[in-house]
Amino acid sequence: MRTTLSILVDPLKYLVSLPTSLVEQATDSATSYSALKAENEHLREDQLIHQARLLKFAALEKENIRLRALLENSFKLGEQVLVAELLSVNMAPYEHILVVNKGTRFGVHPQQPVLDANGVVGQVFRALPFTSEIMLITDPNHAIPVQVNRNGLLTIAVGSGQLNRLILPFLPSNADIKPGDLLITSGLGGTFPQGYPVAVVDEFTAQPNKAFATITATPKALLDRNRELMIVWSKSVPVPLISKPTGSEEGMPDATK
């Protein structure tokens, strides 16, 4: 029912976000040659750095595979991403829900994790044929299982309703966590793949008279400044890693596409 009606209504979302995207295109095409050149150079440098890092990453991944093979813990989950663009529409101001321009036509389905270049953004909340709705991790109804990167402490980060704030309500006052700690997805719960950065802890207040401490964290992803998001498919079927112990090119799981 909702899917059918959304075919009638979704064009309006595209229509409403048209002025914003037109303005953006206009500013893009009006950028001067020198600015473009500078940006290009900057991006090329970035690309070089990232490529160098990727080389290292490939080596590390191989090593990881070998070590895992030794432990006979023999699989890793591969992932695939789709870039979706934000539609500038405003559905419910008191909820943190975004609309993007990719829907079930592209195979998007509910509960898929959504990332940006810096970290986890949220998850697909509802997939319609032409658009899908994404609930941000800061929505008051959202909770994400996380892990402290420093020591592996597991907990849950709950949205606060503010775009720059997550709350960790379930840690005792003597928990080993301090401001500056990076929180990554723990992979528990099965929605979010393991190991993506979520937030940085910015405040820890022990409350002696209460069971739990008040801990807040700032999301890594630029939740309000992004126009491009990545929708992730985690392959639920494990990719066997020790099929080729010699470690040729196919031995590498295709991490991204």
Partner 1 sequence: MPLNNYIGFFRILFTLVLAMCLRIAPLEGDWALLNPDWVLLALIYWALNLPDRVGIFHAWIFGLLTDVLLGRLLGQYALAYALIIYICLKLHKRLRQFPFLQQGLFIFFCLLLSQLLLFFIKNLQHPAQLQASFWLPVITGTLAWPLVYGLLSFVSLFRRIK
What is the binding site for partner 1 (CB under 8 A)? Answer: 1-2, 5-6, 8-9, 12-13, 15-17, 20, 88-94, 97, 125-126, 133, 140-141, 161
**Strand-strand pairing, 132-136 and 143-148:** unpaired
CB nearer partner 1, residue 16 or residue 153: 16
Q: Least distance from C-beta 26 to partner 1, angstroms?
A: 17
CB nearer partner 1, residue 40 or residue 141: 141
CB nearer partner 1, residue 12 or residue 59: 12
Count CA atoms closer than 13 A to 45's CA, side-chain side. Answer: 5
CB nearer partner 1, residue 17 or residue 101: 17
CB nearer partner 1, residue 127 or residue 148: 127
CB nearer partner 1, residue 125 or residue 196: 125
Q: Least distance from C-beta 88 to partner 1, angstroms?
A: 4
Q: Least distance from C-beta 144 to partner 1, angstroms?
A: 17
CB nearer partner 1, residue 26 or residue 92: 92
Rounded Cα–Cα distance for residues 114 and 108 (Å): 11
Rounded Cα–Cα distance for residues 229 and 160 (Å): 21
Which amino acid, one-letter code, is at 121?
V
